Chains A and B, each alone.
Chain A
């Protein structure tokens, strides 16, 4: 019950232009944006990216708080990136002499550059997951990868596996919670002891969980077969993806952004 209401991924339900974009377009544009962030040669080139991100966030109706939350788990890596670059990079223009290390202007710029790059990457990627339900995302991924079927890439199978995983994660979490409680009731201790003791303590949780997952898999396979599932061949879809005007506009906007970023890098 406690884990019953867990929401998957971090989808933020809202009705916005960004939410309505074709998932295929969103995935491709995300890749283009990542490229743009990587080709940005200097800090100035980030300005249009940041402006674009702000605009899309505004359009998506996703609260800024949610966006910032995505960075939180990365704060240590972020600090590490910043500090390492700041202290260990050699440069020509000293700004501050701390005795044990000299901070140079070049090091400061690089530190800001790399940290900013990381923050932007995370924020732009989370914008995709925040505005696209996981199942739609899977769908988009399947359609994008389906041309690869000619080289026997199992696009449909992969998408089906992902969507089944999405369906069963809450169920298995709930089950894990229950098994954990049942073993605790028999005196099991999941919380104390050293690392090895704790790892060993997981056995009474993991074995039943695996047994159950296998049983569920068997049941599900049978139920799917009974419902005439026989792979991706000859399958029709309830949801048909169709590119509309807003998708073309989004593509054009991102293309313009990429051009601008490259230009900024050259000019400076």
Chain B
């Protein structure tokens, strides 16, 4: 399944004095099975973009296509888009409302009009996926759980719709290092199981580790697009936009500035480890001569 944004522009409150164009002429295709990272400064329009992918926002200009079909066309079933494209907002635990974890996770499937048995099955499956299959937990109130657990319940609530594309707005925001890592591993495993992932992130280290493709936005437009190695080849450009660069990229830049030959496309720690080892062995070899 593929979602395509064609010349999408979105203006909030058009015609009012508060009129603001959040995204401008964005063209983007989300390819089936990819892990796409959306990067950009706060206010660059990435959240607005994300809300177009599942039809929550309607473009002021342009079209959003789901497998070639315009989702805002008359007669197109919006519920189908909402089911196929799951959207996890920032701090999703703030949307929990039911008496029990199971009921909350089942809210989406219930809205799809599924039978009770099917709902129960999906709830179980979703809770298993997010690692919350502890006995008794499903019957607890979601408000009794820890922050990290609440966020996973909210994730399960989206997963229970069995989306093919999962759009996540800063899924690790506000979590401590351990819960952060758990969350990222969870997303990565969902991706490996075949879910297409679109993740908004401020952490370039996370982008470097997980994304297969990255899109950089500035002032509502896409300014860079490509595999992480291509994006991180322009660290100066990213820093100019006020974005971070993975620490190992910074190390590479620094080494090159010092006149040490360090390969360009290092952005993950494993890569840096290998490159530095071979540099050292090479350098040590020279020293021995």
Contact = CB atoms under 8 A, between A and B. Distances in A.
Contacts of B13: 2, 5
Nearest to A201: B111
Interface of A: 1-2, 5, 175, 178-179, 181-189, 203-204, 207-208, 211-212
Nearest to B13: A2
B95 A179 contact: yes
Contacts of B158: 185-186
A185 B86 contact: yes
A245 B66 CA distance: 68
Contacts of A212: 94
B50 to A, nearest CB: 10
Q: What 3 A-B pairs have minimum CB-CB distances, sorted nearest first?
A: A187-B111, A207-B97, A5-B18
B51 A203 contact: no
B12 A1 contact: yes
Interface string B59-98: 0000000000000000000010011001101001011110
Contacts of A204: 95, 97, 107
23 contacts: A1-B20, A1-B22, A1-B47, A2-B13, A5-B13, A5-B18, A181-B51, A181-B89, A182-B89, A182-B94, A183-B95, A183-B107, A185-B82, A186-B111, A186-B157, A187-B107, A187-B111, A204-B95, A208-B94, A208-B96, A208-B97, A211-B96, A211-B97
Given A187-B112, A188-B107, 20 more contacts: A1-B20, A5-B20, A178-B89, A178-B94, A179-B94, A182-B89, A182-B95, A184-B82, A185-B82, A186-B108, A186-B161, A187-B107, A187-B161, A203-B97, A204-B97, A204-B107, A207-B97, A208-B95, A208-B96, A212-B94
Interface residues of B, number: 29
A230 B54 CA distance: 48
B68 to A, nearest CB: 23
Contacts of A187: 79, 82-83, 107-108, 111-112, 161
A151 to B, nearest CB: 41
B196 interface: no
Contacts of A203: 97
Contacts of B108: 186-187
Contacts of A211: 94, 96-97, 143
Contact of A188 (B51, B54, B87, B111): B111
Tell which of A186, A188, A212 has the most Cβ of chain B within 10 Å: A186
A211 to B, nearest CB: 7
Contacts of B87: 182, 185
A184 B55 CA distance: 10
B41 to A, nearest CB: 15
A202 to B, nearest CB: 11
Tell which of B56, B79, B95, B108 has the most Cβ of chain A within 10 Å: B95
